[in-house]
Amino acid sequence: MLVRFWGTRGSIARPGLSTVRYGGNTSCTEVRSSSGTLVVLDCGTGALGLGQALVKNRPTPVNGHMLIGHTHWDHIQGFPFFAPLFISGNEWHIYGPRGVDASLRESLSGQMQYSYFPVTLDDLGATLHYHDLVEGTLEVGDIRVTTRYLNHPALTLGYRLEADGVSVVYCTDHEAYSTQRPEDQVQLAGEAVRHAQFISGADLLIHDAQYTSAEYAAKKGWGHSTPEYAVDSALSAGVRRLALFHHDPMRSDEAIDQLVAGARERVAQAKGTLEIFAAAEGQVLELERSVTPPRPSEPKKQTARWDSAVTPSRRTVLIAVGDSGVRRFLEEAVADDGLRLIPVSDCDSIPAMVKSEQPSLVLVKHGLENCDAVKLARTLREDPSTGAQELPIVLLRKSENPAEQRAESAAGITDWLMLPCSKEYARTRIHAWLLRVACRWKNAPQPEDEESRLRRLRASGLLDTAPEERFDRFTRIAAALFEVPIAFISLVDRDRQWFKSRTGIDATETSRDQAFCAHAILHNDIMQVTDAHADERFADNPQVIRGPRVRFYAGAPLSLGEGTPVGTLCVVDHRPRSLDDDQLKLLRDLSKLVERELLIGSSSGSS
């Protein structure tokens, strides 16, 4: 894997004599897998140079993926100057965290409004696809990407990239969750441990190191790290190489040299083997497979893609915080977000309320007179009838206490929010907890012959055509035959499923991420989901918890003669049920008839 830095500065570009060696451009890093997948990490002013290099002397399309950590200016200012986006025929996928207020696309178009910039997002020539992300994993070409929320006043994602047997973790605009040393933190739970797992064993860790520890004292809560914290985290997580990144605009080249020397000294004192440097504009690294294999995949694979249908608004949060000051603070922090905050006066009533209100988050203030948070956490975790094994329980604390926090963690407290903090910070953290639980369903893997499958589908000329009686009669028959309210013929396109015919639903298409049919086309025979609530592939799918409230699904694959099927004929019900063998045979028979119609209509013919 190849890594090239195009911009390493934080906050604002700082060209000039004092920054010649490490560079003045803001965050932009190019990553390439050996097979050629191109990933651009952040799009600060450094993206100008990268864009120019990419389009120079290249007649072929320049396609790639852009992963944006968050939409603060220093991470997106190069976007309107990134040349490949202006050339028609190029195709770019833009990924970033869904903001608290707005989608990624809305945030990016904000800086391209007429009063700031002469060209709008819609005027860009390339084909752009936007992907709002939450925590989880996704595949970008042959690179596996894991996302994790970082500690920053705005909702920010870090990215772990794994390909060619090596791993690169990009972790900037991030501050320590705790003032405890990382060795102590790993004893704790919560974000600190999640962060340690996230960077664990990385071949290269690109880490925020904006402030010296002297500066940090005055800049706590600004969302940036010290080199000391970066070094300690890297050492305790077994990282091979650490690139100090997001250099302060006021830091001269000589001052950065000193930070590096200090960081190396710290490694030597710890008798570590960590290799350290400060990322410099223009620097290229070729990462080779390490002797130790990369850490095994996390067993629970969640989709990292966000779906706008799952909004964290109208979600319920139980708050047991006692005095009205903290309560008012929380209410004001999330005032615009449509959350339902239910105040609770004593912890003993929370388990019953968890059952009746089904909250997405519980916030408890530490040290409340009539609230034993440890006992509460134990009850919620141990009593299966509460259904709260995974429910985030966050403790609001005025100070850290490693011994107490260890006990709290062992009892099942998820995390801590340290008070006082800013309202924006509290809001960002609350959203991170809610977004994590909001999105638990699985993307179907892509078929191996995906590109040729898509070519077959598109050559068929069936996509985006008008309704046709010859297909509609089959969905009507299927709905009547199996006594279901919904039946449709779905064609699974690159990012969506499009309904050639539908009975009982209004939508003309849904995203592929949500499509049961995206799973069904991977099967040779009918895929049956007898109860979506009990199936971890679908339990929290928006099509299940909202939308048509799918509870039962059966889909028969539709093939265009060869390769992976292009779509399905499926039936859906709002209640759990199943098809018996006779019914399955009928659905199979019907699907064969639909296949014949597909081939007749298909411009690729019935060859």
Interacting residues toward Zn ion by CB under 5 A = 10, 72, 74, 173
238 vs 272: CA distance, rounded Å: 9
- The least CB distance from residue 76 to Zn ion, in Å, is 10
* Distance of alpha carbon 241 from alpha carbon 263, whole angstroms: 12
Closer residue to Zn ion in complex, CB, 74/337: 74
Closest by CA to 576, choosing from 514, 519, 529, is 529
Closest separation between CB of residue 333 and Zn ion, Å?
19
Count of CB atoms situated within 10 Å of the CB of 484? 22
Radius of gyration over alpha carbons of the chain, in Å? 26
CA dihedral 362, 367, 370, 372 (to 10 degrees): 60
Q: What angle do CA 61, 65, 69 make, to 5 degrees?
A: 150
Q: 48 near 78, Cβ under 8 Å?
A: yes
The CA distances from residue 135 to 431, 437, 502, in Å, are 12, 10, 33
Distances from the Cα of 169 to the Cα of 111, 160, 312, 482, 586, angstroms: 27, 4, 28, 50, 51
Which phi and psi (to 5°) does residue 148 adopt?
-150, 135
> Please, which residue, 173 or 595, has the CB nearer to Zn ion?
173
Q: Where are the alpha helices (DSSP H) in 422-468?
A: 423-438, 450-459
Considering beta carbons, is residue 10 or 182 the nearer one to Zn ion? 10
Cα 203 to Cα 241: distance, rounded to the nearest angstrom: 6
Nearer to Zn ion, 366 or 427 (CB): 427
As measured in angstroms, the least distance from the Cβ of 225 to Zn ion is: 12
**Cβ at position 159, least distance to Zn ion in Å:** 14
Question: Which residue's CB is nearer to Zn ion, number 123 or number 424?
Answer: 424
- Compute the distance between CA of residue 212 and CA of residue 598 in angstroms, rounded to an integer: 65
DSSP for residue 554: E
Taking the least distance from each CB to Zn ion, the nearer of 74 and 162 is: 74
At closest approach, how far in Å is the CB of 275 from Zn ion?
24
Instruction: Kindly state the smallest distance separating residue 280's Cβ from Zn ion, in Å.
Output: 17
CB of 243 to Zn ion, least distance (A): 15
Q: How far is the CB of 347 from Zn ion (least distance, A)?
A: 36
Minimum CB separation from Zn ion for residue 27, in Å? Answer: 6
What single-letter amino acid sits at 21? R
Pairing of strands 316-320, 496-503: unpaired
CB atoms within 10 A of CB 68: 26
Residue nearest to Zn ion (CB): 72
Residue 72 or 512 having the CB closest to Zn ion: 72
Q: Which is nearer to Zn ion, 424 or 495 (CB)?
A: 424
Closer to Zn ion by Cβ: residue 156 or 167: 156
